[in-house]
């Protein structure tokens, strides 16, 4: 489909989210606050997917639909770990346009990407670009854990786009726009979206439980670098060197081991002597992002996973039962 066709079909599924009682126009109609956010309708029951950081902006949220009707919304569930939230509005099904969800596992760098949102309060603005990269992770302001498996795009994303859909050439949602990387606070051609496969995992739990249970291993460590291989005389060139193991964590119960001797490499304090994680199941782990992305994409709380570790120069297999991440309980 052409971009114009996609926009014509799916613009009605995109909503503007803002805080109740902010600003009112001459005739009493609410005027959305700049940059509050965007969402999209996912079913005929009135569920709307958006970002957690949009949903937590205020307890009283309003949603403006494509027909300019404004209705109150309640937060059904929210998850800071994936920056996803679900709102619900009480609107007849015939008044709702539901956006189709695609898949993100088969995305390729260079594919077309279309973003619809409300940047700076400018309702249902459309921008286009390509997928610039895949599998990015972003740090969180409220936690040491990261947001996993992000899509990077150069489609213009600005304050107010948060929570809006990123679409493919078939008019399917492939991601939820969530953040930009910028020194000025406005678009610099580097935006990020939560992939729709993560949305498919998280949203049903948000609707059912009000929260999402993130799987947790319970180790700290770092990706192996060439300097570490040289200084520590490591037996492998890729993987995660385990610094410490959290007490009573799945890793502790599986007898994973952290380091015992502190060294400084390239100005960074590190601990040597711990296990080296090199694979999860049949998937090679080259760096810490690989672990973060694998857990987010393929595992759930209660799953048993097989880890390949290197200890004392020897490879061995360790089975581990994933538990819920403590910060999300």
Residues recognised as catalytic:
53, 83, 162
Helix H or strand E encompassing 5: helix 3-10
Q: What one-character DSSP code corresponds to residue 45?
A: T
Contact 189, 161 (CB under 8 A): no
**C-alpha pair distances (Å), 61 with each of 13, 27, 211:** 18, 20, 19
Distance of alpha carbon 192 from alpha carbon 177, whole angstroms: 6
Closest by CA to 117, choosing from 211, 187, 60, 58, is: 187
- DSSP letters spanning 48-102: EEE-HHHHTT-SSEEEE-TTS-EEEEEEEEEETTTTEEEEE----GGG--PPPB-
3-state secondary structure of 116: strand
Distance of alpha carbon 35 from alpha carbon 37, whole angstroms: 6
Helix H or strand E encompassing 289: helix 288-298
∠ CA 71-11-53, rounded to 5°:
60
Distance of alpha carbon 121 from alpha carbon 127, whole angstroms: 15
Distance of alpha carbon 186 from alpha carbon 70, whole angstroms: 27
């Amino acid at each position: 489909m052409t971009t114009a066709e996609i926009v014509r079909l799916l613009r009605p599924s995109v909503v503007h989210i803002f805080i109740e009682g902010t600003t009112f126009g001459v005739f009493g109609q609410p005027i959305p606050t700049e940059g509050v956010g965007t969402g999209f309708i996912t079913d005929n029951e009135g569920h709307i997917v958006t970002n957690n950081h949009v949903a937590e902006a205020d307890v009283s949220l309003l949603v403006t639909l494509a027909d300019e009707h404004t209705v109150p919304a309640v937060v059904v569930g929210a998850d800071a770990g994936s920056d996803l939230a679900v709102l619900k509005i009480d609107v007849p099904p015939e008044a709702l346009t539901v956006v189709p969800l695609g898949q993100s596992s088969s995305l390729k760098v260079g594919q077309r990407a279309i973003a619809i949102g409300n940047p700076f309060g400018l309702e249902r603005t459309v921008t286009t670009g390509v997928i610039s990269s895949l599998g990015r992770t972003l740090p969180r302001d409220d936690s040491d854990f990261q947001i996993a498996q992000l899509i990077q795009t150069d489609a213009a994303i600005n304050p107010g786009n948060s929570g809006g859909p990123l679409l493919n050439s078939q008019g399917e949602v492939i991601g939820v726009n969530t953040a930009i990387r910028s020194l000025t606070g406005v678009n610099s051609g580097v935006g990020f979206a939560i992939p729709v496969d993560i949305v498919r995992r998280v949203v049903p739990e948000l609707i059912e439980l009000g929260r999402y249970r993130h799987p947790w291993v319970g180790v700290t460590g770092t990706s192996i670098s060439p300097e570490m291989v040289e200084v520590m005389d490591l037996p492998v060139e890729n993987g995660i060197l385990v610094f410490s193991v959290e007490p009573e964590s799945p890793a502790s119960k599986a007898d994973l081991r952290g380091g015992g001797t502190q060294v400084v490499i390239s100005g960074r304090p590190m601990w040597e002597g711990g296990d080296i994680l090199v694979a999860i199941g049949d998937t090679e782990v080259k760096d810490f992002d690989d672990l973060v992305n694998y857990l987010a994409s393929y595992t759930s709380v209660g799953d048993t996973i097989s880890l390949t570790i290197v200890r004392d120069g020897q490879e061995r297999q360790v089975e581990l039962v994933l538990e819920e991440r403590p910060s999300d309980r």
